[in-house]
Amino acid sequence: MLRTEIVRGLANLLSAVESSNVLDVTERIYRELTRQSGDVKIPEVLDCYQKFMLAYNSTFSNIERQIMKALDVGEFADAEWWSVVIASASSNTRTPDAAAMIAHPLYRLRFAVDYLPNLITLLKRETDPDIRALQSELFAGGNRPGHMILILPEEGGKFSSPLRVAAAIESVSLLYEAFAELNVQSTTDLVMNSCDSGLDKVFEFRGLNDVIEKVKGLLLDLWDNVIYYRDKRFADRMEMSARNLRVLSDIAGLEEKNLLQKERAELLRRKFMAGATKFFETGSSIPEMNKFSTYLPRHLLAPKETLLLQGRGGERRRGRDGQENGSDPLGS
């Protein structure tokens, strides 16, 4: 689980508790059961139950549900437990052990609500967007001008070799530099804004807005080519996807019109090809790829076999297309 996912999940849980008023209502029911004058009406209980369950079923992801399980407050999403809570609001239908059944999850949720804001503060970095913006940060790319998220998927107990991480970062750097040079802009504005890890590794870059958008556009163009050539062998798919990028045609057009010198055009072609190839062979992706296709990047953009290692022993990984390649992992 990524740190950003934990922050987002904790914030979502707190928001659902606050908007549904579930903690206040269940506390008053408990006080009524223990003769501490809680005073709560059944319609109020039903309203908070419906609001919390609506949030749970419509806005909670597996992250929020895992957090509820870890905090041991899963009863608040359990219909059977809620039947005891609702019945306890009526003096005629209370079960004998209702107070004990309500007390334990209530105490745990109260503890969580009191201390989760402090935990979020510890987990959140200065470079992170507002907590509400984190709702879509990983899945939609953040929509923040000049920002780009790079994802390195890791599955099945396999971890990235240092070469894979370095090559993935270099792929973004090469593409950024190539677009900046093509448009006669500064090539030194790209920075790594943050990095995170969980099931996958995630890197966030920040640079000139128009250059970042061009890099994203090229990677989406590469993704379209990957889908088109998905039935090809790994090496063929990688080469054909990189060679059919639209930016290469744009460079050829500028060269024909004498708007770009032949030597400079060739250097830019090589840089674009190198960046796209490294991005492809490291199995990298960006969140925007998930928005425009029914295919999953982690399935079609599998990394080269030598770039993922076992957690123990460093065994080579067989690619998703069943090939095993013992060549230089960076293709040099």
- HEC-encoded secondary structure of the chain: CCHHHHHHHHHHHHHHHHHHCHHHHHHHHHHHHCCCCCCCCHHHHHHHHHHHHHHHHHCCCHHHHHHHHHCCCHHHHCHHHHHHHHHHCCCCCCCCCHHHHHHHHHHHHHHHHHHHHHHHHHHCCCCCCCHHHHHCHHHHCCCCCCEEEEEECCCCCEEECHHHHHHHHHHHHHHHHHHHHHCCCCCCCCEEEEEEECCCEEEEEECCHHHHHHHHHHHHHHHHHHHHCCCCCHHHHHHHHHHCCHHHHHHHHHHHCCCCCHHHHHHHHHHHHHHHHHHHHCCCECHHHHCCCCCCHHHHCCCCHHHEEECCCCCECCCCCCCCCCCCCCCC
Q: What is the mean pLDDT of the chain?
A: 82
Position 327 confidence tier, pLDDT thresholds 50, 70, 90: very low
C-alpha distance across the termini of the chain, in Å: 34
Sheet strands side by side (includes 201-206): 147-152, 201-206, 191-197
Q: Per DSSP, what are the bridge partners of residue 204?
A: 149, 194
- Is residue 8 within 8 Å of 14, Cβ to Cβ? no
Is 145 or 28 the better-scoring residue by pLDDT? Answer: 28
Q: Per DSSP, what are the bridge partners of residue 251?
A: none
Q: In sequence order, which residues have a C-beta less than 8 Å from that of residue 262 and are 6 or more positions away? A: 255
Residue 316 has pLDDT above 60, yes or no: no
Distances (CA, A) of 88 to 38, 51, 84, 100, 229: 11, 19, 6, 12, 62
Looking from the CA of 230 toward its CB, the CA atoms found within 13 Å total 12
Choose the weakest-confidence range: 178-192, 212-226, 311-325: 311-325
Q: What is the pLDDT of residues 278-309, one digit of tens each?
A: 999 899 999 888 876 677 777 777 777 767 67
Residue 188 has pLDDT above 90, yes or no: no
Instruction: Tell me if the pTM is above 0.85.
Output: no
Burial class (CB in 10 A: 0-12, 13-18, 19+), 57: exposed
pLDDT score, position 163:
92
Q: What is the pLDDT of residues 134-173, one digit of tens each?
A: 444 444 445 678 889 899 888 767 788 899 999 999 999 9
